[in-house]
Structure 1
Amino acid sequence: MPIRKQTAPPRPLTVGDVVAAPSRELGEWTAAQIVRLDAGSQTAAVLELDWSGPEPSSAADLGDVAPLRLTHHSWNGGLSFCNKEWVLPRSHKVVGAMPLLHDKPSNCWASGWHLGDQLARQRRWDSGVREDPVATWKAEYTGDTLNELLSRRTPPRPEIEHLTIRDIDSLDCARLVQCFPGVSWLRLHGRLGTLSGAGELNRLGSLRRIGIAELFGMTEQDRLRPQHVPELEWLDLYSVPAAYASAMRSTWRPEIPAGTYVSVLRARKPEWVAENRSNPLRDWDGREHIGAATYRKAVAQYRTTREAILHVLAEEPADVWSARMEEVGRAYGEAFNKLDRRPGFIETVEREELFDALDHIVKEAEALQGRALKDVGDSLISGLESVRDW
Structure 2
Amino acid sequence: MFAKAGDVYCVYNTHLKKYTACQITKLEEKGEKLKAILLSLDWVGEQPLKEEELSSLKPLYKDFMYWERGLHLIYVDINVPANYIFIGNRSPLTTESTNAYAVSWENGYDVYRQLKWQEIPKEKRDFFKKADKSKEKVLFLGEECAISRQNLNSKLTEFDDALELKVFPCLSELTLNKWPQNLYEYLQFNPFLNVIKLENHEQTKLDFSHTYLRRLTLDMTGVKELQLNDDLEELILIGDFNENCQIQAKENGANLRLLLHKSVPIVQGLKDLGALHCSGILEIDFAQVLSCYPKLRELRLWGKPGNIRNFYKLSEFKELAVFSTVDLFGFTAEDIPRPEDLPKLNMFWMSSLPEDAAKVAKTYYKKQQEKGLNLWIQKPRKSEWLAQNLNNPFRSWDGQENISAANAKKAATLYKKTRAGISKLVKSSADEMMQQVTDLVRVYTEGFNKMDKRNCFIETSEREDIYTALVDLLNLIPAEFNINKEKLLQVFDELRDF
What TM-score, normalized by structure 2, do the two folds share?
0.71
Determine the C-alpha separation between the residues in 2 that align with 1:374 and 1:201. 48
Q: Return closer, same or farther for 1:61/1:271 CA change in 2, 3 Å cut-off.
A: same
Match of 2:77 in 1: 85
Determine the C-alpha separation between the residues in 2 that align with 1:270 and 1:346. 28
Residues 235-257 of structure 1 show CA distances to partners (whole Å, capped at 9, x for unaligned) of 01111111111111110111111
Match of 2:258 in 1: 140
Match of 1:315 in 2: 427
Mapped contact 1:142–1:168 kept (Cα < 8 A)? no
Shift in Å, 1:321: 1.8
Which of 69, 74, 79 does residue 61 from structure 2 map onto?
69
Matched residue SS, 2:377: strand
Determine the C-alpha separation between the residues in 2 that align with 1:295 and 1:145. 29
Q: Judge which range, 270-279 or 97-106, deviates more.
A: 97-106
Q: Equivalences for 1:222-371 in 2 at 5 Å?
A: 222-312=335-425, 314-363=426-475, 365-366=476-477, 369=478, 371=479
- Provide structure 1 residue ranges, at least 5 long, that are not aligned to the other structure: 1-10
Shift in Å, 1:376: 4.9
Q: Equivalences for 1:119-134 in 2 at 5 Å?
A: 119-128=111-120, 129-130=191-192, 131=194, 132=214, 133-134=231-232
Matched residue SS, 2:411: helix
Q: Equivalences for 1:37-52 in 2 at 5 Å?
A: 37-38=27-28, 40-52=32-44
Match of 1:173 in 2: 286
Shift in Å, 1:361: 1.4
Matched residue SS, 1:84: strand
Shift in Å, 1:173: 0.6
Match of 2:489 in 1: 381
Q: Judge which range, 372-381 or 162-171, deviates more.
A: 372-381
Mapped contact 1:329–1:379 kept (Cα < 8 A)? no
Mapped contact 1:25–1:116 kept (Cα < 8 A)? no
Q: Return closer, same or farther for 1:245/1:372 CA change in 2, 3 Å cut-off.
A: farther
Mapped contact 1:326–1:384 kept (Cα < 8 A)? no
Shift in Å, 1:59: 3.6
Which of 268, 271, 276 does residue 163 from structure 1 map onto?
276
Which of 4, 16, 19 does residue 9 from structure 2 map onto?
19
Matched residue SS, 2:495: coil
- Provide structure 2 residue ranges, at least 5 long, that are not aligned to the other structure: 121-190, 195-213, 215-230, 234-252
| Greater relative CO, 1 or 2 (CA 8 Å, sep 6+) | 1
Match of 1:4 in 2: none
Mapped contact 2:24–2:38 kept (Cα < 8 A)? yes
Mapped contact 1:325–1:376 kept (Cα < 8 A)? no
Matched residue SS, 1:76: coil
Mapped contact 1:173–1:196 kept (Cα < 8 A)? yes
Number of aligned positions between the proteins = 370
Matched residue SS, 1:279: coil
Matched residue SS, 1:227: helix
Determine the C-alpha separation between the residues in 2 that align with 1:298 and 1:194. 24
Shift in Å, 1:42: 4.2
Determine the C-alpha separation between the residues in 2 that align with 1:70 and 1:29. 18
Please give the root-mean-square deviation of Cα atoms over the aligned residues, in Å.
Answer: 2.0
Determine the C-alpha separation between the residues in 2 that align with 1:387 and 1:216. 37
1:195 aligns with 2:308: yes
Matched residue SS, 1:240: strand
Matched residue SS, 1:386: helix
Which ranges of 4 or more aligned residues in structure 1 deviate by more than 6 Å? none
Match of 1:184 in 2: 297
Mapped contact 2:280–2:305 kept (Cα < 8 A)? no
Match of 1:3 in 2: none
What TM-score, normalized by structure 1, do the two folds share?
0.89
